[in-house]
């Protein structure tokens, strides 16, 4: 009994004794206090490292994206390697200048980031006039070592991860070589249904009275001027071509990317206007076409001239475009007729039709794009031009002057929007 009382007394005295409490509490709290202080210092360093790492990622993504836009030969792998090296070097420089890391850490930062940095390149090819787009995403991380105090909490390091995305575009400008092959046969003298308000009366040629075109005044079957005066097909063509030339000029006002040539045909091929910079020469050629054209229809010679001028085996156009620093350019033929292939006769000639189809096939195989316009044409003429067109979006079937003008305007817009030149 006496022993139990003594033990109880000792316990009560120990519990009620206040001597040494400060030392005990200090022993308990000191490691925690040091760890918290160490964590505060480390968090400051983590923030600095994150900032430096993000700056490096941003710079690397921008560098790779810009390089892709300015150098069309650069591969995705080369751009990715460029981004990795740039990020590592930039981080080492930024971290060192900002004192975000110590000397030992800085010396290994470049190698570590070079191994851990990842990059993704996405290319979007421009269409319908849009520029090529290059998206580069760069991601990386760095393990920031903790100081001795923070390690009391069991953390040896803290990983900082960043990601950056940059987008660049290549500037585009029209670059093309186009050859117009235009019908100026007798049927192009026939009227459209559009009234010519510039004249009170005129001779309105049609398929019915065309045989009497040469009859003199006072003779039987003389074709008298009548009211109203209707616009002839040839004049509708000149108006439409003018709209085309204006559209091309607006796309290339400095005549540094657009080259145009023209040739006309009936049952024979007329002397062409060779391809030249801008639209001036071709426009003058079309304006000079006769107001009352004559003859049958044979586009073979005109297509041969256009094909020979634009074929890839003829270096003339590539050399001319390269002289203006046009690394890429499109080649176009615009084939227009209002009839079917008749030659010197008045009925369809299957042999001539086949020859024209042959040149169209060669041109398309060579990569030349063909726009075709069957203006108020009969079925066999439509069939031929539909075959010659590069695809359905390149084929037009206008039935009046307004539709013809719209077709030529659309051709000008389509050609100028689809052609591109990569510039630095």
What's the whole-model pTM score?
A: 0.64
CA angle 93, 96, 101 (to 5 degrees): 130
Give the pLDDT confidence score for residue 403 in this predicted structure. 97
Distance CA 249, CA 279 (A): 7
Q: Which CATH superfamily is domain 176-418 in?
A: von Willebrand factor, type A domain (3.40.50.410)
Distance CA 176, CA 275 (A): 11
In terms of Cα–Cα distance, which of 282, 300, 270, 301 is closest to 184?
Answer: 270
- Name the more confident of 133 and 395: 395
Residue 319 predicted with pLDDT over 60: yes
Q: What's the rounded mean pLDDT across residues 147-162?
A: 71
Q: Is the peptide bond before 228 cis (omega within 30 degrees of 0)?
A: yes
Q: Which residues contact 37 (CB under 8 A, 6 or more apart)?
A: 149
pLDDT in tens, 38-67: 556 767 777 877 888 788 878 888 888 878
Give the pLDDT confidence score for residue 99 in this predicted structure. 47
Q: How confident is the model at residue 105 (pLDDT cuts 50, 70, 90)?
A: low
In terms of Cα–Cα distance, which of 149, 152, 40, 50 is closest to 91?
Answer: 50
Q: Which residues contact 399 (CB under 8 A, 6 or more apart)?
A: 376
Of 68-82, 131-145, 292-306, give the range with the top mean pLDDT: 292-306
In terms of Cα–Cα distance, which of 312, 368, 291, 306 is closest to 336?
Answer: 306
pLDDT in tens, 10-45: 556 655 655 555 555 555 555 655 555 555 676 777
Give the pLDDT confidence score for residue 423 in this predicted structure. 35
Of 110-114, 136-140, 193-197, give the range with the top mean pLDDT: 193-197
Domain layout of the chain by residue ranges = 24-169, 176-418
Q: How many residues appear in the chain?
A: 424
Q: What's the rounded mean pLDDT across residues 68-90?
A: 80
Dihedral angle of Cα 208, 376, 305, 395, to the nearest 10 degrees: -170
């Amino acid at each position: 009994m006496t022993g139990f009382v003594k033990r109880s007394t000792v316990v009560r005295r120990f519990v009620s004794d206040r001597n040494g409490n400060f030392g005990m509490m200090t022993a308990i709290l000191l490691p925690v206090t040091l760890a918290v202080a160490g964590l505060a210092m480390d968090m400051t360093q983590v923030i600095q490292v994150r900032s430096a790492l993000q700056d490096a990622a941003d710079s690397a993504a921008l560098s790779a994206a810009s390089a892709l836009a300015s150098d069309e030969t650069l591969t995705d792998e080369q751009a990715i390697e460029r981004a990795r090296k740039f990020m590592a070097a930039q981080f080492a420089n930024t971290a060192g200048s900002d004192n975000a890391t110590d000397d030992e850490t800085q010396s290994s930062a470049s190698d570590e980031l070079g191994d851990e940095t990842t990059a993704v390149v996405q290319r979007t090819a421009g269409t319908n006039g849009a520029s090529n787009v290059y998206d580069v995403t760069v991601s990386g991380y760095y393990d920031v070592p903790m100081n001795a105090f923070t390690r009391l909490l069991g953390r040896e390091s803290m990983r900082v991860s960043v990601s950056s995305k940059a987008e660049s575009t290549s500037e585009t400008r029209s670059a093309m070589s186009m050859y117009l092959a235009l019908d100026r046969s007798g049927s192009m003298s026939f009227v459209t249904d559009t009234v010519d308000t510039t004249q009170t009366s005129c001779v309105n040629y049609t398929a019915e009275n065309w045989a009497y075109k040469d009859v003199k005044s006072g003779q039987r079957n003389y074709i008298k001027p009548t009211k109203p005066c209707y616009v002839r097909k040839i004049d509708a063509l000149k108006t439409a071509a003018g709209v085309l030339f204006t559209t091309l000029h607006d796309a290339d006002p400095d005549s540094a990317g657009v080259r145009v040539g023209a040739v006309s045909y009936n049952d024979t091929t007329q002397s062409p206007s060779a391809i030249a910079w801008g639209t001036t020469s071709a426009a003058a050629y079309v304006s000079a076409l006769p107001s009352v054209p004559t003859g049958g229809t044979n586009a073979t010679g005109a297509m041969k001239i256009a094909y020979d001028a634009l074929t890839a085996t003829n270096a003339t156009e590539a050399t001319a475009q390269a002289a203006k620093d046009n690394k890429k350019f499109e080649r176009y033929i615009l084939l227009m007729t209002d009839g079917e292939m008749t030659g010197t006769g008045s009925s369809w000639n299957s042999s001539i039709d086949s020859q024209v189809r042959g040149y169209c096939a060669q041109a398309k195989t060579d990569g030349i794009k063909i726009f075709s316009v069957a203006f108020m044409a009969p079925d066999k003429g439509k069939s031929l031009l539909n075959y010659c067109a590069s695809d359905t979006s390149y084929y037009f079937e206008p039935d009046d002057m307004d539709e013809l003008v719209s077709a030529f305007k659309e051709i000008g817009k389509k050609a100028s929007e689809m052609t591109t030149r990569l510039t630095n």
